[in-house]
């Protein structure tokens, strides 16, 4: 993959773009929350499977189209949640706010997540040095900007669409080679 020229990008404080607070969680034990025939995903403190630790039939507590992260694990436990889900203790939700609140969509949030995760991972957070919402709110990240200095949502969306096309083509070639 080619490197992206970020020299014209601008820094934004994450706390100006997102309200970060804990997701609503049922105060239940795992054996009471998780159900074998559950249909609603439960986002837990995990760096795997998009953070989904299981399923429940309890009503969802969060809307989709947000980013989540755990404040008890490493900075790798950050994910985009497309669909409504059930929160879990120590899962932080990132809810778009401010003048760009209605500009965020799946593609732009996935782009943001890539930049955000990379920044957090390179800041050496771990099980001892926790990645908390206080750190996240203060963190500055660089994003592409339009001619007015606002985040360039069109660029982010187009970039992610192109990456998906490229990955899909690579997977098709790989599948053909394995046959």
Question: Residue ranges per domain, the chain?
Answer: 10-178
State residue 16's pLDDT score. Answer: 97
H or E element, residue 127: none
Q: Quick check: 26 and 58 in contact, CB under 8 A? A: yes
Task: Please report, in tens digits, the pLDDT of each residue of the chain (179 residues total).
Answer: 567 888 899 999 999 999 999 999 999 999 999 999 999 999 999 989 999 999 999 999 999 999 999 988 778 889 999 999 999 999 999 999 999 999 999 999 999 999 999 998 888 776 677 788 999 999 999 999 999 999 999 999 999 999 988 888 888 878 888 87
Render 45-113 in DSSP notation, one character per residue.
S-SSGGGEEEEESSPP-B-SSEEEEESSS-TT-EEEE-S-BBB-TTEEEEEE-GGGGGG--HHHHHHHH
Q: Quick check: 156 and 143 in contact, CB under 8 A? A: yes
Rounded distance between C-alpha atoms, residue 83 and residue 111, angstroms: 17
Tokens of 107: 């593609």
C-alpha distances (whole Å) from 120 to each of 96, 131, 166 are 19, 8, 26
Tokens of 171: 């997977």
State residue 172's pLDDT score. Answer: 82
CATH number for the domain running over 10-178? 3.90.220.20
On the 0-12 / 13-18 / 19+ scale of CB atoms within 10 A, 80 is buried
State residue 101's pLDDT score. Answer: 96
């Amino acid at each position: 993959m080619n490197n992206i020229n970020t020299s014209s990008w601008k820094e934004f404080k994450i706390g100006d773009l997102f309200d970060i607070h804990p997701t609503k969680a049922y105060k239940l034990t795992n054996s009471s929350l998780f159900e074998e025939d559950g249909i609603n995903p439960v986002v837990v403190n995990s760096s795997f499977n998009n953070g989904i630790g299981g399923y429940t039939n309890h009503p969802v507590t969060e809307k989709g189209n947000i980013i989540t992260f755990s404040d008890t694990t490493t900075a790798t436990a950050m994910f985009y949640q497309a669909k409504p889900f059930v929160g879990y203790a120590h899962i932080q939700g990132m809810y778009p706010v401010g003048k760009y609140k209605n500009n965020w969509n799946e593609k732009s949030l996935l782009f943001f997540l890539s930049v955000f995760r990379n920044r957090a991972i390179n800041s050496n957070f771990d099980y001892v040095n926790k990645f908390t919402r206080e750190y996240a709110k203060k963190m500055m990240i660089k994003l592409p900007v339009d001619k007015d200095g606002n985040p360039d949502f069109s660029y982010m969306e187009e970039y992610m669409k192109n990456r998906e096309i490229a990955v899909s083509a690579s997977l098709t070639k790989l599948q053909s080679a394995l046959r």
